[in-house]
């Protein structure tokens, strides 16, 4: 005799009177959950974190100078310092603005994919090419890869709402730093224990870059951008893709789709009474022409930099980033001068790993901080920048390799902390304009 509980009996009685179309199969529920998760801000953030991790795992990077000046490439220190490395600086400066405009016009994702393709080509050229002209070409492509970094975070802010900026920024920055850490640790182990030659390390890096390339292709394509492709409210027109609608409908679509709109930032109409330039930009930007976009960029420049706070943080960002790139490019030459790798077991990978790990911990910890950085950020900016300067002075005027290592760890970890704070402050300030 089978005893059926009241709950089971009630379920059997009701299920028999339920239409077949009202019964949701487990497969359909899983599909709906998957679609809902893909519309959430966490989906593109996770993919971008995976891309940021694998694209920054470069085991050979801490040992680039020993590789170039060693028997593999047979270059001299003077050639590397005076003929090869400066190409990166000038190429990065030359392509930065065009890449930024292309990033906006192409809506971010194509530039992220292009960055990974160029990175793959750079590693392949480094593996098979020799001589100064070939190394200069590699430095040019490296500058192009670095300039495309603007697409990494601008893509993030195009698919994530303002309320998630803090966590999303910290997660993506942490993923990059963890990738750098993993690559440095791996490189130190492979070199110290002589498990792989430099050439095989480059082959391994190509495999990791291929994984990053596949991830970049899977990123969802944003339908809007800050200047070239915008949805307009209350005008019945659009600047890019997407259907026209009222502001309320667009906001509902943004909440429903999650990855198509950037919160209220892209729905915010251009304020009136901001001068003729602003009015012309607001009027003409609906046509989507290149000249109209330039007018909007000029108006946006005037509006944004009328804020002293935004001006201070932007000036710090430009100066700090320029100094940071110069330091990471030439610090290995300083280490080689203080303690040549020919008579010393270099620990460049361990130093890079520790600095990136501390920077990742700082960037991740910012996401849980309740500090109002728009209020206290200038204090942190001045204090920590002074500590960075002191660390650099200690590196330059010391003849001890361990002092140089410690100074570099302090400098890089503090920079990663400050740049994460700066990104959050700048984009929050930018949202008010």
Residue ranges making up the domain that contains 173: 38-225+306-430
- Cα angle 9, 13, 15 (rounded to 5 degrees) comes to 115
Cβ contacts of residue 189 below 8 Å, gap of 6+?
195, 349
Residue 189 within a domain: yes
What are the beta bridge partners of residue 231? 238
Residue 175 within a domain: yes
Residue 25 within a domain: no
Residue 198 within a domain: yes
In total, the chain counts a number of residues equal to 433
| CATH code at position 393 | 1.20.1250.20
Residue 4 within a domain: no
pTM value is: 0.72
Q: What pLDDT was estimated at residue 206? A: 95
- Asked if residue 290 lies in contact with residue 409, where contact means CB atoms within 8 angstroms, the answer is no
Residue 265 within a domain: no
For the chain, the C-alpha Rg in angstroms (whole number) is 26
Query: Which of the 8 DSSP states describes residue 270?
Result: P
40 phi/psi in degrees, rounded to 5: -80, 160
Sign of CA dihedral 12, 14, 18, 23: negative
Query: Which of the 8 DSSP states describes residue 233?
Result: B
Q: What is the tally of structural domains in the chain?
A: 1
Q: What are the tokens at 433? A: 């304009």
Please tell me whether residue 245 adopts helix, strand or coil conformation. Answer: strand
- Asked if residue 43 lies in contact with residue 220, where contact means CB atoms within 8 angstroms, the answer is yes
Q: What is the mean pLDDT of each run of 10 residues along the chain (433 residues)?
A: 47 48 58 62 90 95 91 92 92 89 87 95 94 95 92 84 79 88 93 91 95 94 68 41 37 41 38 40 48 75 75 86 90 91 84 88 75 77 91 92 94 89 72 51
What are the beta bridge partners of residue 245? 233
Q: What are the tokens at 169? A: 């920024």
Residue 274 within a domain: no
Q: Sort residue 273 into left (φ over 0), alpha (ψ -120 to 50) or beta.
A: left
- Asked if residue 151 lies in contact with residue 323, where contact means CB atoms within 8 angstroms, the answer is no
What are the beta bridge partners of residue 233? 245
Query: Which of the 8 DSSP states describes residue 238?
Result: B
Closest CA to 201 of 111, 70, 326, 333: 70
Neighbours of 76 (CB within 10 A): 12
Q: Which residue has the tokens 């098979």?
A: 128
Residue 164 within a domain: yes
The dihedral formed by the CA atoms of 332, 61, 71 and 396, expressed in degrees to the nearest 10: 0
Neighbours of 35 (CB within 10 A): 10
Helix, strand, coil shares, percent, the chain, to 5: 75, 0, 25
Q: What is each CA distance from 414 to 75, 357, 370, 380, in whole angstroms? A: 33, 12, 19, 10
């Amino acid at each position: 005799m089978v005893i059926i509980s009241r709950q089971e009996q009630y379920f059997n009685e009701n299920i028999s009177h339920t239409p077949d179309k009202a019964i949701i199969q487990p497969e359909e529920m899983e599909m709906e959950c998957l679609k809902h998760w893909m519309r959430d801000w966490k989906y593109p953030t996770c993919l971008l974190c995976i891309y940021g991790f694998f694209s920054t795992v470069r085991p050979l990077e801490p040992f680039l100078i020993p590789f170039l000046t060693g028997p593999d490439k047979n270059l001299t220190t003077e050639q590397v310092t005076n003929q090869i490395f400066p190409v990166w600086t000038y190429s990065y400066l030359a392509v930065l603005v065009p890449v930024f405009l292309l990033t906006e016009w192409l809506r971010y994702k194509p530039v992220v994919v292009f960055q990974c393709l160029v990175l793959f080509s750079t590693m392949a050229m480094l593996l098979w090419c020799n001589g100064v002209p070939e190394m200069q070409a590699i430095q040019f492509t490296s500058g192009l890869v670095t300039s495309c970094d603007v697409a990494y975070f601008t893509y993030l802010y195009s698919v994530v709402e303002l309320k998630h900026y803090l966590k999303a920024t910290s997660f993506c920055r942490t993923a990059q730093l963890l990738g750098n850490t993993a690559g440095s640790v791996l490189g130190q182990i492979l070199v110290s224990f002589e498990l792989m030659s430099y050439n095989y390390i480059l082959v391994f890096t190509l495999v990791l870059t291929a994984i990053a390339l596949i991830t970049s292709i899977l990123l969802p394509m944003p339908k809007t951008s800050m200047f070239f492709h915008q949805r307009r409210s209350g005008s019945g027109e659009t600047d890019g893709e997407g259907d026209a609608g009222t502001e309320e409908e667009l906001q509902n679509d943004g909440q429903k789709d999650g990855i198509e709109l950037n919160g209220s930032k892209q729905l915010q109409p251009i304020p009136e009474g901001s001068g003729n330039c602003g009015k012309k930009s607001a009027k003409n930007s609906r046509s989507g022409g290149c000249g109209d976009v330039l007018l909007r960029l000029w108006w946006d420049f005037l509006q944004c930099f009328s804020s002293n706070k935004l001006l201070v943080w932007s000036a710090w960002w430009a100066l700090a980033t320029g100094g940071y790139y110069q330091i990471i490019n030439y610090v290995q030459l300083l280490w080689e001068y203080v303690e040549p790798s020919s008579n010393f077991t270099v620990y460049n990978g361990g130093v890079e790993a520790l600095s990136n790990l501390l920077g990742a911990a700082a960037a991740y910890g910012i996401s849980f901080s309740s500090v109002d950085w728009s209020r206290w950020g200038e204090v942190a900016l001045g204090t920590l920048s002074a500590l960075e300067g002191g660390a650099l002075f200690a590196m330059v005027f010391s003849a001890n390799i361990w002092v140089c290592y410690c100074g570099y760890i302090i400098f890089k970890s503090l920079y990663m902390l400050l740049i994460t704070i700066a990104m959050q402050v700048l984009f929050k300030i930018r949202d008010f304009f």
